[in-house]
């Protein structure tokens, strides 16, 4: 596959992740009487990754996440020369999805952009009012383990065909843990899309949701490699993300 084809796949996959995951939070989480709540939003994020991993894993590897791209590079699974194209495609896909979600959500009664459009935050903008230290640590730790799951489940020695399920369920678990803390990022692109639409505080806090996940992803890739992994991957799925 050419880098253009892989980049387009990453754009579409990340669009689906943000539109499906953030869309469930904005449109369905607190819907009167039938809201899906935190558990439903967590499952929605996991399902976006699972469905895209089976759909585009054989094209781009289905990273959908700059932290995953950097982590796979650190773990010896991805070429450094392709990182810029992947990160740009992922980020643009996330922005396009957030813009589409905003247009749809603003057509409903009572919509207020001050609600955050599922933006990530800490302090006053954390769902549970968690501070900067808590937000940084949970994003770092959860992205670290996300990369371990991704690299382990896609190793040639792992059972074939089940990687998307493991990765999707891992992302679901990550959201079940951390929505109250940061609204869950573990994905800089996912954070950037809504932040650019909301502006203000969301942009001011966006730095954390780039630094912590990428640091956690790189650390996860390095640690899995140090565990004695052979660095190989089983096609068609190279990796997947939040």
Mean pLDDT for all residues in the chain: 92
The per-residue DSSP string of 207-240 comes to THHHHHHHHHHHHHHHHHHHTT------TT----
Q: How far apart are CA 152 and CA 174, in angstroms?
A: 17
Q: What is the CA radius of gyration of the chain?
A: 17
CA atoms within 13 A on the CB side of 160: 4
Which residue, chain included where needed, has tokens 């689906």? 16
Residue 54 within a domain: yes
Residue 71 within a domain: yes
Once rounded to an integer, what is the mean pLDDT over residues 66-76? 97
- Specify the pLDDT at position 166: 97
Residue 204 within a domain: yes
- Return the CATH number at 64: 1.20.1080.10
Q: How far apart are CA 216 and CA 225, in angstroms?
A: 14
Nearest in space to 242 (alpha carbons), one of 195, 189, 198: 189
Residue count (the chain): 242
Q: How many domains does the chain have?
A: 1
Residue 197: is the preceding peptide bond cis (ω within 30°)?
no
The per-residue DSSP string of 166-191 comes to HHHHHHHHHHHHHHHHHS--S-HHHH
- Specify the pLDDT at position 241: 44
Q: Which residue has the higher pLDDT, 185 or 238?
A: 185
Residue 232 within a domain: no
Cα torsion for 240, 19, 208, 38, to the nearest 10°? -90
What pLDDT band is residue 239 in, cutting at 50, 70 and 90? very low
Once rounded to an integer, what is the mean pLDDT over residues 180-203? 97
**Sign of torsion, CA 74 120 165 94?**
negative
Task: Provide the residue range defining the domain that includes 60.
Answer: 3-227
What pLDDT band is residue 240 in, cutting at 50, 70 and 90? very low
Please give the model's pTM, rounded to 2 decimal places: 0.92
What pLDDT band is residue 218 in, cutting at 50, 70 and 90? very high
- Specify the pLDDT at position 115: 81
Residue 237 within a domain: no
Residue 70 within a domain: yes
Asked which of 24-38, 120-134, 136-150, 188-202 is least confident by mean pLDDT, the reply is 24-38
Residue 109 within a domain: yes
- Specify the pLDDT at position 97: 98
Residue 234 within a domain: no
What pLDDT band is residue 39 in, cutting at 50, 70 and 90? very high
């Amino acid at each position: 596959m050419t880098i253009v084809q892989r980049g387009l796949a990453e754009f579409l996959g990340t669009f689906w992740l943000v539109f499906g995951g953030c869309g469930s939070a904005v449109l369905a989480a607190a819907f009167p009487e039938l809201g899906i709540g935190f558990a439903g939003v967590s499952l929605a994020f996991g399902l976006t990754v699972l469905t895209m991993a089976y759909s585009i894993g054989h094209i781009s590897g289905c990273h959908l996440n700059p932290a995953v791209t950097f982590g796979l590079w650190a773990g010896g699974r991805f070429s450094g020369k392709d990182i810029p194209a992947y990160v740009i495609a992922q980020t643009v896909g996330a922005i396009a999805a957030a813009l589409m979600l905003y247009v749809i959500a603003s057509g409903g009664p009572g919509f207020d952009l001050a609600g955050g459009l599922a933006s990530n935050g800490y302090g006053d903008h954390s769902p549970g009012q968690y501070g900067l230290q808590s937000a940084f640590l949970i994003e770092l730790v959860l992205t670290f383990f996300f990369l371990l799951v991704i690299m382990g489940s896609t190793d040639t020695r792992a059972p074939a065909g089940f990687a998307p399920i493991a990765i999707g369920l891992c992302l679901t678990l990550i959201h079940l843990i951390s929505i109250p803390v940061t609204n869950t990022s573990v994905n800089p692109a996912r954070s950037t899309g809504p932040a650019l639409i909301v502006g203000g505080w969301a942009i001011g806090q966006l730095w954390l949701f780039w630094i912590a996940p990428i640091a956690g992803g790189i650390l996860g890739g390095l640690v899995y490699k140090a565990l004695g992994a052979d660095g190989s991957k089983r096609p068609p799925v190279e990796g997947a993300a939040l």
